[in-house]
Amino acid sequence: MSESKEQQLDDDEAPKKGKKGLIIIVLAVVLLGGGGAGLFFSGMLDSLIGKDKKVAEATDGDASSDSEQAADGNGTDAKKEKVPVAFLELPEVVANLQSSTGGSSFIKAKITIEAPSEEIRVQLEKNQPIIMDAINTYVRELRPNDLKGSAGTFLLQEELTMRVNKAIHPNEINKILIEQLLIQ
């Protein structure tokens, strides 16, 4: 009887060991697969295996032949050159904000304009009083709630870009850069 009990215990332990081993293997496969997927989607896998260099070399070789083929009938090349941009720092903007509670709030901002060329930057300098007037007029109408979060900052950038573009029409700027923004 003792032999049958020992044999029965051995039989019960064998499936448990097999299940544990299977669970460990499955868990390892899932973890390695997840880690590999994470590296792949983050782009780190390409740099680890040196794929970036191979792709860059392959695209450079193809780009020259493609650019030769991409030339249109006028003899212009479809490949675009990178044009340098110019920056104009504006004087610090300090203005009171509208307040429904009667308390006083103000905004202090350091703004830089990104122009597509040096010629437009020169035009911006000439029209700086008009640009500052447009910016101050808009900012004075804002409420502190209008500037909350990144959405408020984005809205401020878009509105100021539109107003500066109106001031220097028909030319346009690339965008407004807000280097510092303090609302108190």
121 lies in some domain: yes
CATH number where 166 lies: 3.30.479.30
For the entire predicted model, the pTM comes to 0.52
Q: Give the per-residue SS3 of 130-156.
A: HHHHHHHHHHHCCCHHHHCHHHHHHHH
Name the token pair of 163.
Answer: 């107003």
Residue 140 identity (one-letter amino acid): R
- pLDDT tens digits for 108-159? 999 999 999 888 889 889 989 999 999 999 988 888 888 888 888 899 999 9
76 lies in some domain: no
Give the three-class secondary structure for 160.
helix
Residue 120 sits in which domain range? 86-183
DSSP 170: T
Of 18, 34, 69, the position where a domain reaches its end is 69
- pLDDT tens digits for 27-55? 999 888 888 888 777 777 666 666 555 44
